[in-house]
Amino acid sequence: MTTVFVPKEVAEREARVAATPETVKRLIKLGLKVIVEPGAGAGSKLSDEEYASAGAELGVAWDADIVTKVNPPQEVDGKHEADLLKKGGLLVGLIWSVSDPALAKRLADNGTSVIAMEAIPRISRAQKMDVLSSQANLAGYKAVIMGANALTRIMPMMVTAAGTIKPARVVIMGAGVAGLQAIATAKRLGAIVEATDIRPEVKEQVESLGGKFIETVEASGEGGYAKELTAEQKKRQQEIIESHLTAADMVVCTALIPGRPAPLLVPAHVVEKMRPGAVIVDLAVSQGGNCELSEPGTVEKHGVTIIGEPNVPATLSTDASAVYARNVLALLMDVVDKKDEAKIKLNLEDEVIDKSLIIQDGTIRHQRTKEAVEGLEEKT
C-alpha cells in the first residue's frame, strides 16, 4: 500500500500543517495509508485524536512513499530531513529550489522525486492546486488587519456629535492575489483605497473592488506574474507613486516575483516623508522587502511603523492549513492512480506534473533549478 507521511513542521514561527483530518479522510479513500506525526496539527488547533478519528496512524515515517510538507526540508537535531527521505520516494511541498540550490542538490543526490508546489503552473485546471494564491489570499486579508491594529486612528469615516472623522487612506502596492484581497479588506473597513501595479490589465479588477488604480509603468510577465523592472522603469514608477505614499495612512506592500528578490518600491527617503503615525505592512520582507527599511518583525522609522511579518499565512494557521491541505490533496489526486492500488504515476504529458516535478528520481528537471545548482558547483 502506498503510504503518505505528514511530519510536524519545525521551521521557526510555522504553525501550518500539510494535511488536515478532512484531507486525510479523502486520501484514505484514494487507497493511501496516511501517517501523521504526533503534534503535527497542534499549531492549527488540530488534535492527534482528530487525525486518528479520520483514519490516520500516528507516528514518524520519513521512509514513506510520499512525504508532504509545508516548508522545505531542513536540519533538525543534527539530522537533515532531506536525508531521511526514501530513495525513489516523492516529496511534495514548498521547496524554493532556485533560492536554495544546496537543498535541491541534496534532494537530487538522495534520489528523491520532488514536486514543488510553488512551481504549479497558473492555468485554469490547476487553480485548485495553486498554493501561492491560496496563501497569498489570506496574507492580503491579514496584512490590512495588522495595519489597522497598528494605526492610531480608525479606518472608516465616522460622523459624531464632536465632528466628522475622515476615513484612512490606504495604498496597496501590487494587485496580485494578496493585493486584491487587501484592497477588498481595506474597502470593507471603510478606508479610501488606492492601488498600483505594473500590469495595467489589473486596473479593472482594482476598480471592481472599489479601489482607485494608480497608473505607473507596464511590465506584465509570464504566468500572470509581474516581471522585473529595469532601473529606469523603477525610477519612473517611484516618481509617480511617491505623492500617493506620502499622503497615505497605511501602505501594504505585496509585490513579489517568485524565486527573485522583492522589488524595492518604498525607498527610505519616501518613508521619511510619510505622515507621523503611518503604517507600512511589508508582505515581501522574507525576500528582502518592498520597503527599504523593512526588517523581520515590527520597527519604527521616522515616526512610521513598519510591520515585516515573514510568514503571515502562519498567523492564520487554521484556515491556511485547510486550504494548503486541499491544494496538496488536489495534486495527489492527479498523482495517485486509484485504479492501480493507489500507486504513484507521474504523467509528464500532464502540464501540471511536467512543470512542478522539479526533480525526478534524482535528476533535476527544472531548468532554473539546474542552473542554480550548476552555479553552486562552480563556486565550490
Residues acting as catalytic residues: 122, 127, 130, 133, 225
The grid cell for 187 is 474597502
- The CA distance from 147 to 124, in Å, is 32
Integer Cα distance of 109 and 154 in angstroms: 55
Burial per residue of 312-349, b for 16 or more beta-carbon CB atoms within 10 angstroms, e otherwise = bbbebbebbbbbbbbbbbbbbebbbeeeeebebeeeee
b/e sequence 68-91, b meaning 16+ C-beta within 10 Å: bbbbbbeeeeeeebbebbbeebbb
* Sequence-distant (≥ 6) Cβ neighbours of residue 336 within 8 angstroms: 2, 30, 31, 32, 342, 343, 344, 345
Quote the CA–CA distance of 131 and 28 in Å, as a whole number. Answer: 22
| 207 sits in which H/E element | helix 203-208
Phi, psi of 298 (to 5 degrees): -120, 130
CB burial string 99-120: b at 16+ within 10 A, e below: bbbebbbbbbebebbbbbbbbb
- Neighbouring-strand partners of residue 213: 195
- Report strand pairing: 304-308 vs 279-282: parallel
Task: Indicate the SS3 state at residue 139.
Answer: helix
